[in-house]
Amino acid sequence: MLVEKLKEFNENLSWKFNYGADQWQNLQDFEDDSDLDFDDRAKYFLLLWKDRTYDINDFGAIEGYSFEGEFVLCVRSKFDDPDYNFKYEDHIAALEKEVIKVFDGFSFCEGWTVKSWREVEVSNQYDTNIDGLKVRFVIEYKYDK
């Protein structure tokens, strides 16, 4: 349910989607575009994990779900980029403007509510050196009554 909704958002935004724990996230299967300008680089949405809690009413019926999880929105970078200021200004700050599209996507979908959203900057992550934002979230989905 959540994975499918995130895939839909990513397709609409033309981002690359991948689901799997940290050890599966190295982008080796994708073209290296780190020499391109930021606007021309592929944006990667890496869903690292999600837990689902069932919301059950007094009669034992499922009324909805609460999802807690973590994803990274990122671009490829180079280990030899000049310094962190460059990474922040060229990659991370731009992705801060992009990641809000996911937040807004849930805000406008009926039944979905973002309950918690925490962003952490990341740089030179994984085998392919990615820069971006790691987002920890809690998102609820309630069935119509």
Indicate if the pLDDT at residue 80 is higher than 70. Answer: yes
Please give the structure tokens belonging to residue 89.
């200004």
CA separation for the pair 74, 46 (Å, rounded): 8
Q: Look up the pTM and report it.
A: 0.91
pLDDT of residue 27: 74
Residue 145 clears pLDDT 80, i.e. is over it: no
Spelled out in words, what is the top-level CATH class assigned to the domain 2-142? alpha beta
- Distance between CA atoms of 134 and 69, rounded to whole angstroms? 11
Q: What is the pLDDT of residues 19-54, one digit of tens each?
A: 998 887 877 777 889 889 888 999 999 999 999 999
CA distance 91 to 54: 37
Name the residue ranges covered by the structural domains of the chain: 2-142
Model pLDDT, residue 29: 72
Show the tokens assigned to 143.
């069935």
**102-130 per-residue burial string, b: 16 or more CB within 10 A, e: under 16:** beebbeeeeebeeeeeebebbbebbebbb
Q: Mind listing the pLDDT tens digit for each residue in 90-142?
A: 999 999 999 999 999 998 889 999 999 999 999 888 777 889 999 999 999 99
On the CB side of 23, how many CA atoms lie within 13 Å of its CA? 0
pLDDT at position 107: 86
- Please say whether the beta carbons of 49 and 28 come within 8 A: no
Q: Name the pLDDT band for 78 (thresholds 50, 70, 90).
A: confident
